[in-house]
């Protein structure tokens, strides 16, 4: 069995864990991060990508609002390449109370979130697809963040300072030595073998899975997984983040992210962060609510649907998960549970990940009895896949392809992913599946959802990896199934037609359902539990 | 839903309009358009309709700098629209993307001036026609073309039309109206008929009169299409508004507009409102009551109102090239249906995608070679059919095909006028003599 | 009524073009209206008649005609049950004659499926295959060399070769990096096919390949060996390499499919028929149990088209003849004919993308009688002069069955003949 010795072990490859890892590395700690699947497998990779201005919380959770705007400013400075400066609107729709706008403005002032009311006509000039019946509109500095790229970039920062990132390493249990946690026993899913990692301090940043991690040594951390369902429209029906100006509720925000626009979200308690359903009512609700903001939404092609699980921590029970604070929680299990060498950081939002990391690493320093100042607020974050130093903008890839006339080398035509990008992600990164490649470079994330690029990427994969062909085969099938996972709940109209073309390609033309080897691997996707005949008790066939 | 051919329809229901870009959602990435695009087949400078259309459109944001200039190499032929099994309006997306480039002042000054020159046939006509002997001499001389190339990048070998000695509208004023017309119709002659080929207009008037119409020819402007296809949307809108003003009262009185230029009628019907997002009630009313000439004749034919009994035979075998604008009209090949009625006339339809000229595209020095390559299969076809003339509905295509093949080109209406027994002018007259 | 066509065909996929070809003749005016080009451009360019039956069988059907006889027993509403075996044999044979006359022979019989290699190296059952593909026959274990082009992103011979080798067909691969291709910014299958029609390029390919041929008894290319001149290109490559050469279908657009599209179009036009593309049928006028007009959408208005008889061949979900909207139900788009679709979205799909039973939504379509007239629930014809053909028909799963072209060709053949 492999054994790794380090100073700090971080569990969880989402924004928080990666932030902690990089912060540790920058402060000179030897640190290792383990993630059960690929980076951003959890909530970080499944949210709508909002860089909060804080506007959403100014009324309900002023503390969170202030944290958001502070971090918003910092992230724009240190990692602009992960951010699109879309700006944000808070709009009062015909269904909302116009007076709430005054409350909102006042609360923005109180919390330090910059805001201004703009004319509805100005709003419509900038965003002609918005409902022309809006009553009021306020502008705030919301943005759109690429949480995949951000996590990869922060990982790169950590690596540059000596940190180690191990994906597909699932924690089986923490290792306890008396009152002290000395590390964790992990399972390497790729090699299918166990790995022991010893550390002076273990940081539990497993998000919605944090309770499970703590539970392996009998510590109760009460995480209420709050599922949020989101749907992406196939193109940017809006270019500005659009929020309903009212108390936060289901389906009240549309975020333009890269080439799509995402409506979010619902908020439902689920028992298990890994296994949950996307319910038809959630899809319908998102469609209806989105149409209130953007009337053409229902005629717009839906690209994909997914669910993410918010890691909301609570000490006491509250029925409606939305009333739990979004502000994060740091649990020192030494003072809380009498167990040393173990802390849990949970809750929070993507926007505040850096601050959460800072607070966490401060505590690590304290526990190790050293004083090392945090520098993450001033340290630029590198981009392992391209440019740094300026905001991402929508036309960036188009401009890059145009500039070098790389038209022939497009593997994923929808998202303008070139052969060089794919080769880089397969050989230089830590991808173990095509889905990992997707997260790195947006392969297969456009309208055809892998219809054309899955075969191409599998071809390149096979060329570069030298795996037995059965591995390539199952990699291809896993990716098709993973794309199918997010399509099934929203398959109608144009996207259904697209899916049928994808079937024609993979069944009729390629006969890929008769590839040698396994039909699915252990690295393949876990399906949502609603959406098919098998889940429908009244099924007709 | 059926059209009443005898009068304008003034209660047109205004449909909700979505910009062409919204149709990108229909694209299933099948690349059928790429197999059909005649431009991408001959040049690497244009990466293809899917790329520039529904694909690139997802990366364009009006308020940001246009990232791709290769969209300017779209000739606007609309083969992509025609073959797309899902109704993506690729050519219109490209036209609007090009307009953004123009709006953002990203076109080199020399080309901007050039484009504004060649996209204003009305101005050129007004300037050049009155002094036609001089203008024709200059246009025909190597010297004049040398300077046009030097100063404006106008391809020295591109075929330019010659000015007519008499404007069509002047002839029309002198033309004696039939004594007993049952109905009236408005004729939109367009710039080419007015300044360069009045013979087409004369044939059109004859054909309409042969079918019992009195032909009204009100003052009119350039339709603005050349400006639209060069991305000069503001200037195009001025022309369009002026045409609406000049024509709308006729429509309101119950007359429909017919035109022999497939591009002018297309502009009035759809291109101007759609590309400019100019959906006023009058614009839509005019659109709904404007007809391509052959389309109008087929409506007459459908209604059993087209005079077909006494058509004289024309014993010729001719190549016919349906111009690209028909694809945008989406009315099929009405000229085929009309010419099919003429005894002993054999029309062989070209399967070539495009003649290459793309309106003003082929006049541009940087695109001339592309336009000739695009047209090559058509030119070969015209030579193969080996008729004394070739047939095409669109003026710029006729000039381009004639220039490239040496075979004179005529409008279908000229054949029909001849079949009705009218005297025709120009190349067809020479053939029938 | 003036300007009345004999037959109006809606849709220009394989079914529509076949129907028009069968219906057209010197005294029969046939017009095809099509929104755009269709499934011929997506599929393999072979005629799949029946590849898997029952659907979840692991082994491919060896004798499609025999398997269809069994299928007809089990699914009496299946389009093949309505055409009957004789029509299947006749349609295939007529199409083979047409293609042979066009100098592009399709090889095979309805009593045997070929097993041909795919671009991932699986064994694909198909009934009729162009001569340009049949040397890939996997009933022979002759060693093969598969050829890819570095700049062509739609074919990966390495995967195909390794999977074939794994399944007992010795296969090597080579990825060519030719100077002529390095100059291209965009290399599509059609661009490559056009280049293949130039002798100089073929020479360049052959020169690069000769040192790599090794023990290969045959050489496989992606299906790009010429567009209009495929047979000649294929022959020339075989001669240059001095061994059999074959094509392997790959991602759309399908060059081999486009060849069939050309052959049928030419055949229709040779019979005086018209194919009008870019015209979307959006509705119809019905009177007295008959169709009296079909409307197409044009700039600024709709246009009516009238004919004695009409053939509906607009395809299914993929072709666009059947549209499933958000909460709007499933509709046939031109005549608003009744379609049988599961009401509940949950009943549309199985859990697995590649579930061999096929997703039920894709069996949605039009029910017809043996005259291929759309019928209501009690089997009564709805419109006496309307015939439906191709994948717009219900009670079949053309992709899972691997019967996509077979159903299109055979029902198009029958409907076209019934419509005159």
Q: Tell me which chain C residues have a C-beta less than 8 angstroms from the C-beta of A504.
A: 39, 42-43, 318, 399, 404
Q: Does A451 touch chain B (CB under 8 A)?
A: yes
Number of domains chain A contains: 1
Q: Tell me which chain A residues have a C-beta less than 8 angstroms from the C-beta of C317.
A: 496-497, 500
Nearest Cα of chain B lies from the Cα of A414 at a distance, in angstroms, of 6
pLDDT-based confidence at residue A407 (cuts at 50, 70, 90): confident
Are the beta carbons of C186 and B48 separated by less than 8 Å?
yes
Q: Tell me which chain C residues have a C-beta less than 8 angstroms from the C-beta of B81.
A: 278
Q: Tell me which chain A residues have a C-beta less than 8 angstroms from the C-beta of B26.
A: 301, 494
* Secondary structure of A349-386 as H, E, C letters: CHHHHHHHHHHHHHHHHHHHCCCCCCCCCCCCCCCCCC
pLDDT at C420 over 50: yes
- Cα gap B261→B190, rounded to integer Å: 7
Residue B294 structure tokens = 């052959």
Are the beta carbons of C320 and A497 separated by less than 8 Å?
yes
pLDDT at B385 over 90: yes
Are the beta carbons of A501 and B28 separated by less than 8 Å?
yes
pLDDT at A494 over 50: yes
Q: Tell me which chain A residues have a C-beta less than 8 angstroms from the C-beta of C158.
A: 459, 462-463
pLDDT at A118 over 80: yes
Q: Which residues contact B234 (CB under 8 A, 6 or more apart)?
A: none
Q: Is the ipTM of this complex over 0.95?
A: yes
The pLDDT, as a whole number, for residue B15 is 60
> Looking at the partner chain, which of B30, B87, B349 has a beta carbon nearest the beta carbon of C41?
B30
Q: Does B328 touch chain C (CB under 8 A)?
A: yes
> Looking at the partner chain, which of B35, B287, B288 has a beta carbon nearest the beta carbon of C253?
B35
The chains in contact with chain B, meaning 3 or more Cβ pairs closer than 8 Å, are: A, C
A138-165 per-position pLDDT tens digit: 999 999 999 999 999 999 999 999 999 9
Nearest Cα of chain C lies from the Cα of B197 at a distance, in angstroms, of 26
Torsion of CA A448, A451, A456, A461, to 10 degrees: 100
Q: Does A476 touch chain C (CB under 8 A)?
A: yes
The pLDDT, as a whole number, for residue A326 is 55
Q: Does B61 touch chain A (CB under 8 A)?
A: yes
Are the beta carbons of A236 and B58 separated by less than 8 Å?
yes
pLDDT-based confidence at residue A406 (cuts at 50, 70, 90): confident
**Mean pLDDT on A480-506:** 96
The pLDDT, as a whole number, for residue A539 is 59
Q: Tell me which chain B residues have a C-beta less than 8 angstroms from the C-beta of C191.
A: 41
The pLDDT, as a whole number, for residue C301 is 87
Residue B63: name the closest of A238, A260, A291, A116 by CA.
A238
- Cα gap C107→C99, rounded to integer Å: 10
Q: Does A296 touch chain B (CB under 8 A)?
A: yes
> Looking at the partner chain, which of B35, B48, B331 has a beta carbon nearest the beta carbon of C303?
B331
Q: Does C252 touch chain B (CB under 8 A)?
A: yes
Tell me, yes or no, whether A433 lies in a domain. Answer: yes
> Looking at the partner chain, which of B86, B298, B336 has a beta carbon nearest the beta carbon of C36?
B86
Domain locations in chain C?
Answer: 5-45+258-418, 134-248
> Looking at the partner chain, which of A419, A470, A539 has a beta carbon nearest the beta carbon of C153?
A419
Domain locations in chain B?
Answer: 20-103, 317-432
| CB pairs < 8 Å spanning A and C | 183
B303-332 per-position pLDDT tens digit: 899 999 999 999 999 999 999 999 999 999
pLDDT-based confidence at residue C327 (cuts at 50, 70, 90): confident
Q: Tell me which chain B residues have a C-beta less than 8 angstroms from the C-beta of C153.
A: none
Tell me, yes or no, whether A441 lies in a domain. Answer: yes
Q: Tell me which chain A residues have a C-beta less than 8 angstroms from the C-beta of B66.
A: 395
Percent of chain C topping pLDDT 90: 91
> Looking at the partner chain, which of C42, C186, C326 has a beta carbon nearest the beta carbon of A407?
C186
> Looking at the partner chain, which of B30, B59, B68 has a beta carbon nearest the beta carbon of A259?
B59
Nearest Cα of chain B lies from the Cα of C28 at a distance, in angstroms, of 14
Asked if residue B301 lies in contact with residue B312, where contact means CB atoms within 8 angstroms, the answer is no
Q: Does B19 touch chain C (CB under 8 A)?
A: no
> Looking at the partner chain, which of B36, B328, B332 has a beta carbon nearest the beta carbon of C299?
B328
Are the beta carbons of B67 and A396 separated by less than 8 Å?
yes
The pLDDT, as a whole number, for residue A16 is 97
CATH architecture for residues B20-103: Orthogonal Bundle (1.10)
Q: Does C302 touch chain B (CB under 8 A)?
A: yes
pLDDT-based confidence at residue C182 (cuts at 50, 70, 90): confident
Instruction: Name the DSSP letter for residue A300.
Output: S
> Looking at the partner chain, which of A395, A451, A497 has a beta carbon nearest the beta carbon of B61?
A395
Asked if residue B240 lies in contact with residue B223, where contact means CB atoms within 8 angstroms, the answer is yes
* Domain covering C134-248 in this structure, CATH number: 3.40.50.12500
Q: Does A399 touch chain B (CB under 8 A)?
A: yes
Percent of chain C topping pLDDT 70: 99
Asked if residue C409 lies in contact with residue C15, where contact means CB atoms within 8 angstroms, the answer is yes
The pLDDT, as a whole number, for residue B6 is 63
**Mean pLDDT on C170-186:** 90
List the single residue in B with minimal CA-CA distance to C276.
B332
Query: How high is the mean pLDDT of chain B?
Result: 92
Interface probe with C: pick from A402, A496, A501, A528, most Cβ of C within 10 Å: A496
Interface probe with A: pick from C160, C319, C351, most Cβ of A within 10 Å: C351
Domain coverage including residue A483: 396-525
Q: Which fold has domain C5-45+258-418?
A: FAD/NAD(P)-binding domain (3.50.50)
Q: Does C38 touch chain B (CB under 8 A)?
A: yes
Beta bridge partners of C173: C146
CA distances from B56 to A144, A493, B284 (A): 20, 22, 30
The pLDDT, as a whole number, for residue A323 is 43
Q: Does A408 touch chain C (CB under 8 A)?
A: yes
Asked if residue C37 lies in contact with residue B85, where contact means CB atoms within 8 angstroms, the answer is yes
Give the burial string for C125-143 (b: 16+ CB within 10 Å, else e).
Answer: bbbbbbbbbbbbbbeeeeb
> Of A530-539, C272-281, C355-364, where does mean pLDDT reach its minimum?
A530-539
The CA angle B50-B53-B55, to the nearest 5 degrees, is 70
Are the beta carbons of A301 and B61 separated by less than 8 Å?
no
Q: Does A111 touch chain B (CB under 8 A)?
A: no
The pLDDT, as a whole number, for residue A186 is 98
Percent of chain A topping pLDDT 90: 86
Residue B45 structure tokens = 């400078």
The pLDDT, as a whole number, for residue C104 is 98
The CATH class given to the B317-432 domain equals alpha beta
Are the beta carbons of C276 and B332 separated by less than 8 Å?
yes
Are the beta carbons of C190 and B44 separated by less than 8 Å?
no
Q: Which residues contact C27 (CB under 8 A, 6 or more apart)?
A: none
* Tokens 């969880």 -> residue: A12
C127-149 per-position pLDDT tens digit: 999 999 999 999 999 999 999 99
- Cα gap B333→B393, rounded to integer Å: 10
Are the beta carbons of A396 and B29 separated by less than 8 Å?
no
List the single residue in A with minimal CA-CA distance to B18.
A296
pLDDT-based confidence at residue B1 (cuts at 50, 70, 90): very low
List the single residue in A with minimal CA-CA distance to C331.
A493
Are the beta carbons of A235 and B24 separated by less than 8 Å?
yes
Instruction: Name the DSSP letter for residue B177.
Output: P
> Of A65-74, A349-358, B147-156, C145-154, where does mean pLDDT reach its minimum?
B147-156
Are the beta carbons of A493 and C326 separated by less than 8 Å?
yes
The pLDDT, as a whole number, for residue A321 is 46
- Cα gap A108→A85, rounded to integer Å: 19
Q: Does B130 touch chain A (CB under 8 A)?
A: no
The pLDDT, as a whole number, for residue C109 is 98
pLDDT-based confidence at residue A319 (cuts at 50, 70, 90): very low
Q: Based on the number of CB atoms within 10 Å of its own CB, is C180 exposed (0-12), middle (13-18) or buried (19 or more)?
A: middle
The CA angle A229-A232-A233, to the nearest 5 degrees, is 140
Q: How far is residue C361 CA from its own chain's centroid?
A: 20
Restricting to A residues 464-493, those with a Cβ less than 8 Å away from any Cβ of B are none
pLDDT-based confidence at residue A325 (cuts at 50, 70, 90): low
**Mean pLDDT on A335-346:** 94
Interface probe with C: pick from A263, A277, A286, A408, most Cβ of C within 10 Å: A408
pLDDT at B7 over 80: no
pLDDT at B118 over 80: yes
Residue B2 structure tokens = 């059926």
């Amino acid at each position: 069995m492999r054994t790794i010795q380090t100073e700090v072990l971080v569990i969880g490859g989402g924004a928080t864990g990666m932030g902690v890892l990089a912060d540790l590395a920058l402060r000179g700690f030897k640190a290792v991060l383990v993630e059960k699947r690929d980076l951003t497998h959890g909530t970080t990779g499944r949210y709508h990508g909002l860089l909060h201005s804080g506007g959403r919380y100014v009324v309900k959770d002023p503390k969170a609002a202030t944290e958001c705007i502070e971090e918003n400013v910092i992230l724009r400075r240190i990692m602009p390449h992960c951010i699109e400066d879309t700006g944000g609107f808070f709009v009062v729709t015909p269904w909302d109370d116009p007076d709430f706008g005054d409350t909102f403005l006042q609360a923005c002032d109180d919390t330090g979130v910059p805001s201004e009311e703009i004319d509805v006509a100005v709003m419509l000039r900038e965003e002609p697809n918005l409902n022309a019946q809006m009553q009021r509109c306020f502008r705030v500095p919301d943005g759109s963040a690429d949480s995949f790229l951000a996590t990869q970039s922060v990982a790169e920062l950590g690596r540059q300072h000596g940190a180690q990132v191990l994906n597909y390493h699932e924690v089986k249990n923490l290792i306890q030595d008396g009152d002290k946690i000395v590390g964790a026993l992990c399972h390497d899913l790729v090699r299918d073998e166990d790995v022991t990692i010893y550390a002076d301090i273990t940081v539990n940043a497993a998000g919605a899975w944090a309770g499970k991690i703590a539970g392996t040594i009998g510590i109760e951390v009460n995480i209420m997984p709050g599922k949020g369902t989101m749907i992406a429209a196939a193109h940017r029906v809006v270019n500005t983040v659009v929020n309903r100006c009212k108390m936060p509720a289901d389906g009240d925000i549309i975020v333009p992210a890269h080439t799509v626009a995402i409506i979010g979200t619902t908020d439902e308690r689920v028992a298990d962060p890994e296994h949950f359903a996307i319910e038809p009512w959630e899809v319908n609700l998102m469609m209806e609510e989105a149409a209130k903001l953007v009337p053409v939404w229902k005629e717009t092609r839906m690209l994909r649907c997914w669910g993410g699980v918010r890691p909301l921590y609570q000490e006491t029970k509250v029925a409606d998960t939305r009333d739990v604070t979004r502000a994060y929680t740091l649990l020192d299990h030494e003072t809380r549970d009498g167990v040393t060498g173990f802390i849990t950081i949970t809750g929070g939002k993507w926007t505040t990940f850096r601050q959460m990391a800072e607070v966490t690493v401060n505590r690590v320093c304290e526990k190790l009895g050293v004083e090392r100042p945090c520098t993450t607020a001033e340290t630029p974050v590198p981009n392992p896949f391209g440019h740094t130093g300026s905001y991402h903008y929508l036309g960036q890839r188009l401009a890059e392809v145009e500039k070098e006339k790389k038209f022939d080398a497009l593997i994923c035509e929808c998202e303008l992913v070139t052969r060089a990008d794919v080769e880089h992600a397969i050989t230089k990164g830590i991808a173990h599946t095509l889905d990992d490649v997707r997260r790195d470079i947006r392969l297969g994330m456009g309208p055809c959802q892998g219809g054309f690029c899955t075969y191409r990427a599998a071809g390149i994969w096979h060329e570069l990896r030298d795996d037995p062909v059965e591995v390539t085969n199952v990699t291809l099938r896993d990716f098709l199934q993973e794309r199918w996972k997010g399509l099934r709940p929203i398959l109608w109209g144009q996207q259904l037609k697209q899916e049928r073309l994808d079937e024609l390609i993979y069944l009729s033309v390629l006969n890929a359902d008769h590839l040698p080897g396994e039909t699915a691997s252990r690295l393949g996707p876990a399906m949502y539990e609603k959406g098919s005949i098998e889940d429908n008790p009244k099924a007709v066939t | 839903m059926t059209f009443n051919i005898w009068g304008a329809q003034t209660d047109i229901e205004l449909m909700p309009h979505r910009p062409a870009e919204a149709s990108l959602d229909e694209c299933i990435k099948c690349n059928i358009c790429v197999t059909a695009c005649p431009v991408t087949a001959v040049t690497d400078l244009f990466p293809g309709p899917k790329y520039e259309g529904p694909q690139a459109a997802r990366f364009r944001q009006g308020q940001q700098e246009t990232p791709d200039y290769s969209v300017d190499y779209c000739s606007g032929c609309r083969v992509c629209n025609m073959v797309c099994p899902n109704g993506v309006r690729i050519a219109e997306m490209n036209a609007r993307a090009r307009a953004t480039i123009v709006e953002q002042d990203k076109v080199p000054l020399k080309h901007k001036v050039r484009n504004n020159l060649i996209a204003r046939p009305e101005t050129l006509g007004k300037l050049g026609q009155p002094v036609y002997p001089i203008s024709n001499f200059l246009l025909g001389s190597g010297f004049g073309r040398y300077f046009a190339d030097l100063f404006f990048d106008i391809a020295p070998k591109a075929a330019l039309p010659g000015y007519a000695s008499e404007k069509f509208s002047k002839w029309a004023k002198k033309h004696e109206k039939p004594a007993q017309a049952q109905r009236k119709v408005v004729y939109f002659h367009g710039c080419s008929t007015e300044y360069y080929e009045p013979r087409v207009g004369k044939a059109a008037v004859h054909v309409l009169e042969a079918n019992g119409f009195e032909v009204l020819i009100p003052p009119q402007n350039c339709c603005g299409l050349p400006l639209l296809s060069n991305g000069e949307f503001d200037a195009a809108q001025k022309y369009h508004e002026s045409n609406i003003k000049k024509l709308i009262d006729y429509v309101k009185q119950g007359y429909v507009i017919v035109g022999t230029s497939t591009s002018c009628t297309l502009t009035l019907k759809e291109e101007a409102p759609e590309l400019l997002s100019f959906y006023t009630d009058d614009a839509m009313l005019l659109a709904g009551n404007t007809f391509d000439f052959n389309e109008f004749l087929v409506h007459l034919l459908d209604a059993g109102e087209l005079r077909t009994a006494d058509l004289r035979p024309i014993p010729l075998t001719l190549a016919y090239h349906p111009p690209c604008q028909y694809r945008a009209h989406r009315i099929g090949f009405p000229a085929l249906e009309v010419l099919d009625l003429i005894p002993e006339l054999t029309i062989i339809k070209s399967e070539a995608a495009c003649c290459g000229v793309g309106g003003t595209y082929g006049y541009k020095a940087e695109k001339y070679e592309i336009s000739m390559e695009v047209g090559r299969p058509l030119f070969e076809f015209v030579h193969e059919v080996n008729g004394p003339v070739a047939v095409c509905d669109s003026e710029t295509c006729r000039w381009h095909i004639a220039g490239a093949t040496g075979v004179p080109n005529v409008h279908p209406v000229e054949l029909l006028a001849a079949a009705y027994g009218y005297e025709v002018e120009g190349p067809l007259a020479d053939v029938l003599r | 009524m003036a300007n009345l066509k004999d037959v109006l065909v809606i849709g220009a996929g394989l079914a529509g073009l076949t129907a028009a070809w069968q219906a057209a003749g010197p005294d029969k005016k046939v017009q095809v209206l099509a929104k755009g080009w269709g499934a011929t451009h997506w599929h393999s360019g072979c005629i799949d008649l029946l590849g898997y039956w029952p659907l979840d069988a692991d082994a491919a059907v060896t004798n499609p005609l025999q398997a269809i006889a069994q299928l007809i027993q089990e699914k009496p509403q299946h389009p093949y049950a309505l055409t009957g075996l004789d029509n299947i044999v006749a349609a295939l044979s007529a199409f083979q004659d047409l293609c042979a006359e066009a100098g592009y022979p399709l090889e095979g019989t309805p009593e045997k499926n070929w097993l041909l290699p795919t671009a991932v190296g699986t064994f694909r059952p198909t009934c009729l295959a162009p001569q340009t593909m049949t040397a890939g026959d996997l009933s022979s274990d002759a060693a093969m060399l598969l050829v890819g082009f570095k700049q062509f992103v739609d074919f990966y011979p390495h995967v195909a070769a390794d999977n074939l080798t794994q399944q007992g067909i010795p296969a090597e691969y080579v990825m060519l990096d030719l100077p002529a291709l390095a100059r291209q910014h965009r290399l599509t299958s059609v661009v490559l096919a056009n280049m293949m029609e130039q002798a100089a390029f073929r020479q360049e390919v052959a020169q690069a390949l000769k040192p790599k041929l090794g023990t290969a008894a045959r050489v496989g290319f992606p299906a790009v060996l010429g567009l209009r001149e495929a047979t000649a290109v294929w022959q020339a490559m075989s001669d240059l390499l001095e061994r059999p050469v074959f094509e392997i279908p790959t991602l759309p657009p399908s060059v081999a499919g486009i060849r069939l599209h050309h052959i049928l179009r030419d055949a229709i036009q040779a019979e005086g028929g018209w194919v009008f593309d870019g015209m979307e049928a959006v509705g119809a006028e019905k009177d007295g149990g008959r169709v009296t007009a079909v409307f197409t959408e044009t700039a600024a208005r709709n246009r009516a088209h009238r004919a004695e008889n009409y053939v509906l061949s607009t395809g299914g979900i993929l072709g666009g003849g059947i549209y499933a909207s958000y909460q709007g139900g499933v509709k046939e788009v031109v005549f608003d004919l009744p379609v049988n679709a599961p009401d509940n979205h949950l009943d549309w799909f199985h859990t697995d993308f590649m579930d061999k039973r096929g997703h039920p939504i894709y069996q949605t379509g039009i029910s017809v009688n043996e005259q291929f007239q759309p019928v209501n629930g009690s089997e009564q014809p709805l419109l006496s002069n309307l015939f439906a053909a191709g994948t717009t028909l219900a009670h079949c799963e053309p992709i899972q069955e691997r019967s996509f072209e077979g159903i299109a060709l055979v029902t198009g053949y029958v409907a076209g003949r019934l419509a005159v």
